[in-house]
Amino acid sequence: MKKIDKDLAVIPPSLVIGDDKLTHQRRLELIAKKHYINEAPYNDRYKTDDIRDRLVRIYNNKCAFCEQKVEQYHIEHFRPKQIYYWLAYSWDNLLLACHYCNNYKGINFAIKGKRAKCPNTKDLKNINTISSSKYNLQEQPKLINPEQSDPSPYLIFEKDGKITSDNDDYKYTIDICRIDRKYLNDGRKKHY
């Protein structure tokens, strides 16, 4: 895991309220239903070419968590869309992940603070940056977002390739995403 620089001011057109009315309409439908609808019309909105291509460039075709080359693109929701349905199409909530980290993480998202609630639909103008600013302060997530935190001072690489940390949030992230998988450890061992 390494720090990723993602410009939150440069939002893919398919996520910009006003530019893409369909994405905004889908978000309003999710807010009205008060849960994520796991069907193609909703899933397709965060998997558009402009979003995927931008994430592939930003992440250099590597997983946000384990840094493995991404063979199958999974657009990961930092805050799970099943819980934070209104953030399903928010630029600051989308990461590139490998199949394994995406599946292992699932809907795991422990916090130390108070869980954020869906905002009033009149307060959506900052929806593409709300989770990286307001929500992080309120919730204090245990899962590390490499777009918002530099992991390098907190990660310890052992001679056998195993990755550890003395920091509880980094330990949580390593455990949840299983970044200490054997083949990842073997790969890191070669570079030690």
Please report the DSSP string for 73-124 in residue order.
-EEEESS-TTT-GGGTT-GGGEEEE-HHHHHHHTT---BSSPPP-PPPGGG-
Backbone angles phi, psi at 157, to 5 degrees: -105, 120
pLDDT at 173 (0 to 100):
97
Task: Compute how many other C-beta atoms are within 10 angstroms of the C-beta atom of residue 66.
Answer: 24
For the record, the structure tokens of 24 come out as 């905004």
pLDDT at 20 (0 to 100):
65
pLDDT at 19 (0 to 100):
60
pLDDT at 18 (0 to 100):
66
- CA distances to 3, 36, 125, 156, 191 from 153, rounded to whole Å, are 11, 36, 35, 8, 18
pLDDT at 132 (0 to 100):
74
pLDDT at 120 (0 to 100):
81
Check: CB of residue 13 under 8 Å from CB of residue 19. Answer: yes
pLDDT at 119 (0 to 100):
84
Check: CB of residue 123 under 8 Å from CB of residue 131. Answer: no
Check: CB of residue 102 under 8 Å from CB of residue 128. Answer: no
Consecutive 10-residue averages of pLDDT for the chain (192 residues)? 92 80 89 92 91 96 94 92 94 96 96 92 78 87 95 92 95 96 84 70
Host H or E run for residue 157: strand 156-157
pLDDT at 192 (0 to 100):
66
